[in-house]
């Protein structure tokens, strides 16, 4: 009997995980409703819909017209003006040129040690990152922490950022326009931290940093010298922890990439 219950729980958790991945992260009722069985009322019988107190302000807030057609040159100008990470964060807090800001709960700027010589670059915040305001703090973040620990690293020895600092609705991939608007801020962040080594996590981050349309499977594990803004650095792509959660067999490939990072660290005396 206990085995049947564990199977049921596993199936329920799988369904919940699927809903979360699809962007369904808000419950609007305690019981399911069969909408097809309902008969539409006459127009005059429709009562005004009451306000939903549990809806987030971000979901209801209108997007300013300026954010619907942001100016990349303005983003480049603002990013270049930052002389410190604190200034850059303040500029991003006040920047309204990217519409993603108005659908997110808060800015997800960075985590880890800004003095670290190793930088990890992901794609965009997820639901848990959006709630906490830090990158990689959900299930994929927990896996990332274990991956780092396997080669003697933790968040005090790396600096973690995303290519886009606001969560895209439903965890979708950022559009090319959104990427273009956010890229100057990522470039400036890298310039200010000036890491010795960069590891990108997942395909979109790899394509942004390596300026390629190749897929992650073809590129992962291959070191290249890249320019991120005005900073040149040795960089390597690896698989995103969220992909590894869905495809555990790929952890072997990610492990090889981590060992490659450890070798590079030793070559540069980064311990």
Nearest to 217 by CA among 246, 254, 258, 248: 254
For the entire predicted model, the pTM comes to 0.77
pLDDT in tens, 79-94: 999 999 999 999 999 9
Is pLDDT above 90 for 246? yes
In this prediction, residue 9 carries a pLDDT of 66
At 14 the pLDDT is 62
CB 173 within 8 A of CB 136: no
Which spans in 82-149 are helix H? 85-94, 127-132, 139-149
* pLDDT tens per residue across span 133-158: 999 999 999 999 999 999 999 999 99
Q: Is the pLDDT of residue 178 over 90?
A: yes
Confidence at 70, pLDDT banded by 50, 70, 90: confident
Helical (H) or strand (E) element with 96: none
Spatial separation of the C-alpha atoms in residues 238 and 73, rounded to whole Å: 31
């Amino acid at each position: 009997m206990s085995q049947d219950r564990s199977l049921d729980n596993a199936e329920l958790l799988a369904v919940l995980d699927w809903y979360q991945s699809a962007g369904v992260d808000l419950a609007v009722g305690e019981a399911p409703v069969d909408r097809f069985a309902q008969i539409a009322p006459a127009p005059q019988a429709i009562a005004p819909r009451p306000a939903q107190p549990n809806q987030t302000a971000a979901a209801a807030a209108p997007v300013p017209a300026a954010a619907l057609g942001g100016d990349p040159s303005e983003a480049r100008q603002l990013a270049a003006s930052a002389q410190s990470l604190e200034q850059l964060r303040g500029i991003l807090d006040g920047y309204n040129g990217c519409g993603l800001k108005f659908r997110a709960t808060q800015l997800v700027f960075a985590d880890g040690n800004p003095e670290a010589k190793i930088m990890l670059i992901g794609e965009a915040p997820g639901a848990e990152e959006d709630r906490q305001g830090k990158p990689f703090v959900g299930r994929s973040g927990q896996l990332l922490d274990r991956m780092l620990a396997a080669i003697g690293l933790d968040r005090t020895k790396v600096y973690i950022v995303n290519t886009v600092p606001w969560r895209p609705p439903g965890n979708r991939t950022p559009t090319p326009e959104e990427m273009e608007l956010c890229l100057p801020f990522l470039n400036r962040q890298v310039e200010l931290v000036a890491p010795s080594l960069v590891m990108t996590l997942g395909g979109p981050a790899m394509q942004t940093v390596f300026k390629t349309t190749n897929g992650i499977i073809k590129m992962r594990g291959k070191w290249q010298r890249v320019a991120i803004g005005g900073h040149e650095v040795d960089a390597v792509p690896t698989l995103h922890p969220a992909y590894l959660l869905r495809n555990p067999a790929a952890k072997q490939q990610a492990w090889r990439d981590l060992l490659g990072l450890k070798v590079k660290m030793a070559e540069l005396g980064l311990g």
